[in-house]
A and B are shown apart, each in its own frame.
Chain A
């Protein structure tokens, strides 16, 4: 599973990364969430940050950060 958290350094985006890490931890998944801060890279998937991309699919975008439980559900959708 390839997990990317998209967003430059701002409190919201950092929180997204933190929650994603926690979700991965709780699910016992070996993979690590990769933080992407490059605007060009981010733009390939989404217009708003923070965003969550799993296996190349956009699972979430925008400032309404999903709670950890929701992130786990999103991750599970992709295996």
Chain B
């Protein structure tokens, strides 16, 4: 139905031909903008409500003293549904450690959280379809679980800043009661807040995507970064690690690149690298982790994501 609206606006109202580059580009832009914003509104709203049921305090209780493996799996899933402001990454980390959540389990949580965020999922679904979306989520959870388990097995507790273990939080925060009305109100506010903050960047990203879609020759990237090139995945991941952008900004661009020949595995790996590791997050984590720990963390993530990328190029 959205296609009809886009068709009408671009081909009838503005009288552009679908064969023309400009017409095609504009159509891509109009259609995808409508689709994405619609999806975003609905999904952010729904997800916000789900998230009100999983405050960090409850997650902490669930994960406290969990054994490896089960703990990692739980942590990864909880990482996806627990809302937390990245500004509270430090208190959260300290809180978890103090409550007896094993280091590896805490990491599974920290890895899964930014990777599978609702904006990324919506964009993926809107542009690539649900199959790719599920694969991305699955891979994200896998990386979070395995990454966390490896960190747990390596027993790197000595590389956490000492004061973290010495900390005694004040009274435990009792869970704040919320009526369903409260949850709806929060969901409404959160949706509006997120959209207001990202709409412009999403438009730009879709715009760039549209330009690539309309003006870059097909198969342009196949020779450089297609499935045949073994260096495509590591290159994409290494490029993605230092980049800090919400997945939102990256996906529309990456979608268009894929149309031009970038293989799916490389695309997914790039996205994961961008979202899972961000410079601001690492700087924040420096407060609780010694530099070597951070190095190991980044290293493990990079390798894991590269691995996932190769795996996808083979499967897809």
User: Are B178 and A64 in contact, with the CB atoms below 8 A?
Assistant: yes
Q: A7, A61, A66: which contacts B87 (Cβ < 8 A)?
A: A7
User: Are A44 and B170 in contact, with the CB atoms below 8 A?
Assistant: yes
**Known contacts A58-B173, A65-B189, A67-B189; is A47 also within 8 Å of B87 by CB?**
no
Q: Which residues of A contact B87 (CB under 8 A)?
A: 7-10, 12-13, 49
Q: B60, B174, B193, B287: which contacts A47 (Cβ < 8 A)?
A: B60
Q: Which residues of A contact B197 (CB under 8 A)?
A: 11
User: Are B95 and A47 in contact, with the CB atoms below 8 A?
Assistant: yes
Q: Does A1 contact B (CB under 8 A)?
A: no
CB-nearest residue of chain B to A42? B91
Give a binary string over B173-216; 1 marks a CB under 8 Å from any A CB, 0 the rest.
11010100011011001100100010000000000000000000
B117 to chain A, nearest CB (A): 13
Q: Does A63 contact B (CB under 8 A)?
A: yes
Tell me the bound Cα distance from A79 to B215 in angstroms.
65
CB-nearest residue of chain B to A44? B170
CB-nearest residue of chain A to B197? A11
Give a binary string over B87-100; 1 marks a CB under 8 Å from any A CB, 0 the rest.
11011101110000
User: Are A39 and B287 in contact, with the CB atoms below 8 A?
Assistant: yes
Q: Which residues of A contact B170 (CB under 8 A)?
A: 43-45
Main secondary structure of the interface of B (DSSP, over half): helix
User: Are A47 and B173 in contact, with the CB atoms below 8 A?
Assistant: yes
User: Are A63 and B84 in contact, with the CB atoms below 8 A?
Assistant: yes
User: Are A39 and B83 in contact, with the CB atoms below 8 A?
Assistant: no
Q: Which residues of A contact B287 (CB under 8 A)?
A: 39
**Known contacts A58-B174, A64-B83; is A48 also within 8 Å of B52 by CB?**
no
Tell me the bound Cα distance from A11 to B83 in angstroms.
15
B44 to chain A, nearest CB (A): 13
User: Are B167 and A45 in contact, with the CB atoms below 8 A?
Assistant: no
Q: Does A17 contact B (CB under 8 A)?
A: no
CB-nearest residue of chain A to B163? A40
Q: Does B56 contact A (CB under 8 A)?
A: yes
Count of chain A residues with Cβ under 8 Å from any Cβ of B? 30
Give a binary string over A46-76; 1 marks a CB under 8 Å from any B CB, 0 the rest.
1111110000001111111111001000000
Tell me the bound Cα distance from A60 to B55 in angstroms.
11
User: Are A13 and B85 in contact, with the CB atoms below 8 A?
Assistant: yes
Give a binary string over B51-68; 1 marks a CB under 8 Å from any A CB, 0 the rest.
110011100100000000
Tell me the bound Cα distance from A46 to B88 in angstroms.
10
Tell me the bound Cα distance from A65 to B186 in angstroms.
7
**Known contacts A9-B87, A42-B91; is A48 also within 8 Å of B57 by CB?**
yes
Q: Does B171 contact A (CB under 8 A)?
A: yes
Q: Does B223 contact A (CB under 8 A)?
A: no
User: Are A47 and B91 in contact, with the CB atoms below 8 A?
Assistant: yes
**Known contacts A12-B85, A47-B173, A67-B189; is A62 also within 8 Å of B55 by CB?**
yes
Q: B55, B90, B183: which contacts A39 (Cβ < 8 A)?
A: B90
Q: List 29 A-B contacts (CB under 8 A).
A: A7-B88, A8-B87, A11-B193, A13-B85, A15-B193, A43-B94, A43-B95, A43-B170, A45-B171, A46-B91, A47-B57, A47-B60, A47-B91, A47-B92, A47-B94, A47-B95, A48-B56, A48-B57, A48-B173, A49-B88, A49-B91, A50-B85, A58-B171, A61-B57, A62-B56, A63-B84, A64-B48, A64-B183, A65-B186
